[in-house]
Amino acid sequence: MRVITTIKEMQGLARTFRLEGRSIGFVPTMGYLHEGHMALMEKARNENDIVVLSIFVNPLQFGEGEDLDAYPRDFEHDRKAAESKGVDCVFYPSPEEMYPSDSTVKVTVQDRTDVLCGRSRPGHFDGVATVLTKLFNIIMPDRAYFGLKDAQQVAVVEGLVADLNIPVELVPVPTIREGDGLAKSSRNVYLSPSERNQAKELFRSLQLAKEYIENGERNPREIITLMEDWLRTHTDAAIDYVSIYSYPQLKPVGALSGKVIVALAVKFSKARLIDNLILEIETRG
């Protein structure tokens, strides 16, 4: 496995792979890899000749009050994890390599960002879109793999790829969960034992919503109230949001139909957790 730190070397290697007719699967990350990232690497390994993993803590994604320096980093752990999953190349650039001077061009996302987590993080998805545009141009992948735990990010990237005609296939990968349903996340380690026990109720509230929808409930307000009541009754967490939108458009819905996302975010004492389910709802005539 090669660790590459410069754009020139990575771009040159990617060109070589493409000239040789080898497909490239790309897994973009900010490092501190966990089981969710492992699933992305495994799927990329199964579907491509070459797997490239990027590790880059993107400063453009951090807004006011968000501590870039405090973001967890452990490159040696990440290197071993990537090697264990058969990754061919780790692209590990410095911030100076990716952003050598004041940029003259930045990608601005016009839609799908003013709801869910994007509502409280203005500019965050502009940073995501900008760095991914750069990474897609550097690595030139055939396929790029994203976890559906951050379904809003997947929706934004779908729009980016479509609008800018980027020749890459996006491969969304289902959320990886603990045995009790809690979505895998590096933030889970910040939960106290009591909070960790309560955290399983996030997925339970989503399952409850799914059950009610399958039994015919089509009023999104009723589903949201049901979930909020469940979370308040079974956890001490502060609810950031419980929302239902069309997916991937992320627009408000009236009577539930078609593809929708049921999403939530809650705050425990030292960790903010998100989760979601994406459902296909039949329109009843």
Which residues are designated catalytic? 37
Binding-site entries for (R)-pantoate: 61, 153
Binding-site entries for ATP: 30-37, 147-150, 176, 184-187
For the chain, what is the HEC assignment?
CEEECCHHHHHHHHHHHHHCCCCEEEEEECCCCCHHHHHHHHHHHHHCCEEEEEECCCHHHCCCCCCCCCCCCCHHHHHHHHHHCCCCEEECCCHHHHCCCCCCCCCCCCCCCCCHHHHHCCCHHHHHHHHHHHHHHHHCCCEEEEEHHHHHHHHHHHHHHHHCCCCCEEEEECCCECCCCCECCHHHHHCCHHHHHHHHHHHHHHHHHHHHHHCCCCCHHHHHHHHHHHHHHHCCCEEEEEEEEECCCCCECCCCCEEEEEEEEEECCCCEEEEEEEEEECCCC
Judge contact between 78 and 84, C-beta under 8 A. no
Binding-site entries: 30-37, 61, 147-150, 153, 176, 184-187
Binding-site entries for beta-alanine: 61
